[in-house]
Amino acid sequence: MRQSLVIANWKLNGNLKLVDDMVSALASARCSADVVICPPAPYLAALETATQRLNIEVGGQNCSVYSNGAYTGEIAAEMLAEVGCKYVLLGHSERRALFAEDDTLIAKKVQLAQQAGLTAVLCVGETLQQREAGKTLDVVKAQLSAVLNDVDFNRLVVAYEPVWAIGTGETATPEQAQEVHAAIRQYVATFNTDAASKLALLYGGSVKPENAEILFAQDDIDGGLIGGASLNTDQFLAICSAVKG
């Protein structure tokens, strides 16, 4: 039985009011999936305190490639763990594109995160240009292979987020998403068969209440990584309850 998981990625959005509103909404919600919220770092402690009695975990949106030292503005994986995070998003396409993060750097971050006891949520996905050139699987496999050679599969989640579907309102069709998810699972199996069958694989990219159920019904889709819709309590709860239980 694989973990069903819905992760909220607030990106650079939200405030203390959203922390309160989301926690109140989730407190009275019924959801068979595990729920993780990744707010901007200043809200992690407040969210962790507010969710202590709930079955909700907290995660970072990124961590440093360094453990400590003179790196102004950075946040170490161990610091995230110390304030109660259980997860950290790594390799998000916005980090890759806007902050020039490459596969080598992301692999190092995954190692540090796992050493700190965090589950790394490795994000992979192709651009529209790469998809149109028929390179989707090559791109995704290259992003995975950089990390999978030296990874703790017990602390790994993979999120497939086609770049062209992020924040655009354009979602991969359930068939497109399933095809890539199945290919990811097969590829992971070439590294570790047992881990591949247990790995939680999430879809991300314009997931909304209207399309969540059909996406999550696909064989190899175990939940979602939600951006825009995770900022709205009603929408986020509807997505959480769309996960197959």
Ligand X SMILES: O=C(CO)COP(=O)(O)O
Binding-site entries for substrate = 9-11, 167, 206, 227-228
CA angle, residues 186, 216, 63, in degrees to nearest 5 = 70
| Residue window 57-96: x/- pattern of binding to ligand X, with contact defined by CB under 6 A | -----------------------------------x----
CB of 72 to ligand X, least distance (A): 26
The answer to whether 224 and 216 are in contact (CB under 8 A) is yes
CA dist 152 to 75, 90, 126, 141, Å? 22, 15, 24, 18
For the chain, first and last CA: distance in Å?
Answer: 10
Size of the site for ligand X (CB under 6 A): 14
Tell which one of 226, 239, 240, 242 touches ligand X (CB under 6 A): 226
Catalytic residue among 57, 101, 126, 161: 161
Tell me phi and psi for residue 16, to 5 degrees. Answer: -65, -30
CB of 191 to ligand X, least distance (A): 24
Q: Which two tokens stand for residue 213?
A: 């159920």
CB of 216 to ligand X, least distance (A): 14
Distance, CA of 28 to CA of 151 (rounded, Å): 37
Tell which one of 34, 57, 161, 220 touches ligand X (CB under 6 A): 161
Task: Based on the residue annotation, tell me whether 161 is a catalytic residue of this protein.
Answer: yes
Q: Does 42 bind ligand X (CB under 6 A)?
A: no
Q: Does 207 bind ligand X (CB under 6 A)?
A: yes
What's the farthest any 2 CA atoms get from each other in the chain? 48
Q: Does 232 bind ligand X (CB under 6 A)?
A: no
Task: Based on the residue annotation, tell me whether 181 is a catalytic residue of this protein.
Answer: no
By annotation, the residues acting in catalysis are 92, 161
